[in-house]
Homo-oligomer: A and B are copies of this chain.
Amino acid sequence: MTDAVDPPKARRPNTRLEEVARAAGVSKSTVSRVINGEPYVSSRAREAVHLAIGKLGYSPNQAARTLAGSRANCIALVVSEQGSRVLADPFFAGVLRGVHAELAGKRVQLVLMMSKEGDEQDLVNYLCGGHVDGVLVISLHGQDPLPRTLADAGLPTVVGGRPLGAGGVPYVDSDNFNGAMEAARYLVSRGRKRIATIAGPRDMAVGMDRLSGWKRGLSQARLDTDLVAYGDFTPESGAAAMADLLKRAPDLDAVFVGADIMALGALQTLHVHGKRVPDDVAVVGFDDLMIASTAVPPLTTIRQDVEQLGRTMTWRLMAELAGEENLPPFLLLPTAMVTRSSA
């Protein structure tokens, strides 16, 4: 077509749509239609295009599609946290696994982002810049304004774990309240009378919900709910909290620990104090991490299906992106008691 002097186009990394069109003997438009699975393409053309694509090893340029179309075929998983610490969390890993599983087969990419110290504005700008179609937020701590901000900006957003501050933003969470209540009731049913709890931080919904469930379970049985200690989801904090409880109530005969990871520390402290588990003190954890079954003794715990959480978040987001209406504003996933030897 052009008779200009040849431009020094160095890069020619890939087949372009046009080459496929030429190879298939159709127009760009038709190739585009085939790729996007649109109707109104003759089966002859469709086959020719598929053949050409296969032969040329064509893969559409995502950037161009995003630019020309209006969606990015890409969602972000945002970990709203000081960051690095969270990635070590099995919770995060499980969610990630679920997100990936749910995305399998869909032509949607996952971009992982973390809000770095103060860079929040950058993050929001980026996310709202049309680079992603929707956002999954894992916001473990406190009154994080991020979900609210994103939702207000009109970006479809789903939060994992009940957000404390973001009223109205759709979220998915495990049913921490009922799980914890079940744990408490179980301990009651085993004849325990002096039941303590080690709860998570007060600024995390997951900690508070489990604490509430425990309280409800005990108060239904007319038992005291005064034996509460707090940890921060580390084994060390669990150990310290256990020591504190033991000092306050040497006669306690059970403890519900709001996270397996803290239960590990609690077990250590009990061991050090010469308390036999479960004979002297029954221990129930929460989460059912892998380490729960390998703990000494193996930990009775409330299992939450974190992978399912990731899957459900993703499903919810994709459904919204697909334009489904009247979707549930929030979803609670059931938990299940796993009885091992610690209680």
**When each residue 92-117 of chain A gets 1 if its CB lies under 8 Å from chain B and 0 otherwise, what string results?**
11101100110011000111111010
Taken together as a complex, chains A and B put the C-alpha atoms of A13 and B271 apart, in Å, by: 59
Q: Are B111 and A61 in touch, CB under 8 angstroms?
A: no
Q: Are A13 and B235 in touch, CB under 8 angstroms?
A: no
Q: Are B63 and A67 in touch, CB under 8 angstroms?
A: yes
**Total copies of the chain:** 2
A88-B83 contact, Cβ under 8 Å, with A61-B131, A63-B63, A130-B61: no
Quick check: is A329 within 8 A (CB to CB) of the other chain? Answer: no
Quick check: is A37 within 8 A (CB to CB) of the other chain? Answer: no
| Interfacial residues of chain A within 126-154, with CB under 8 A of chain B in the complex | 126, 128-131
How many A residues face the partner with a CB closer than 8 A?
A: 55
Chain B residue numbers with a CB within 8 Å of A92 are 93
Closest to A98 in B: B84
Q: Are A59 and B294 in touch, CB under 8 angstroms?
A: no
Quick check: is A90 within 8 A (CB to CB) of the other chain? Answer: yes
State which of B59, B93, B128, B293 has its C-beta within 8 Å of the C-beta of A93.
B93
State which of B70, B268, B296 has its C-beta within 8 Å of the C-beta of A268.
B296
Quick check: is A11 within 8 A (CB to CB) of the other chain? Answer: yes
State which of B58, B83, B129 has its C-beta within 8 Å of the C-beta of A60.
B129
Q: Are B70 and A84 in touch, CB under 8 angstroms?
A: no
| Interfacial residues of chain A within 40-73, with CB under 8 A of chain B in the complex | 57-64, 66-67, 70, 72
Which residue, A90, A126, A271, A294, has most C-beta atoms of chain B within 10 A? A294
Q: Are A59 and B129 in touch, CB under 8 angstroms?
A: yes
A87-B83 contact, Cβ under 8 Å, with A59-B128, A110-B111, A129-B61: no
Tell me the dominant secondary structure on chain A's binding face. Answer: helix
Q: Are B96 and A59 in touch, CB under 8 angstroms?
A: no
| Interfacial residues of chain A within 292-343, with CB under 8 A of chain B in the complex | 293-294, 296, 307
Quick check: is A264 within 8 A (CB to CB) of the other chain? Answer: yes
Taken together as a complex, chains A and B put the C-alpha atoms of A59 and B129 apart, in Å, by: 6
Quick check: is A249 within 8 A (CB to CB) of the other chain? Answer: no
State which of B14, B88, B97 has its C-beta within 8 Å of the C-beta of A84.
B97
Chain B residue numbers with a CB within 8 Å of A267 are 296
Closest to A65 in B: B63
A104-B129 contact, Cβ under 8 Å, with A72-B63, A87-B93: no
| Interfacial residues of chain A within 278-303, with CB under 8 A of chain B in the complex | 290-291, 293-294, 296
Min CB–CB distance A136 → chain B (angstroms): 12
Of the A-B pairs whose beta carbons lie under 8 Å apart in the complex, a sample of 20, sorted by A's number, is A11-B70, A13-B129, A62-B131, A63-B63, A63-B67, A83-B100, A87-B93, A87-B94, A87-B97, A88-B94, A89-B93, A92-B93, A96-B112, A100-B112, A110-B112, A110-B113, A235-B290, A267-B296, A291-B291, A291-B294
Interface residues of A (CB under 8 A from B): 11, 13-14, 57-64, 66-67, 70, 72, 83-84, 87-90, 92-94, 96-97, 100-101, 104-105, 109-114, 116, 125-126, 128-131, 235, 264-265, 267-268, 271, 290-291, 293-294, 296, 307
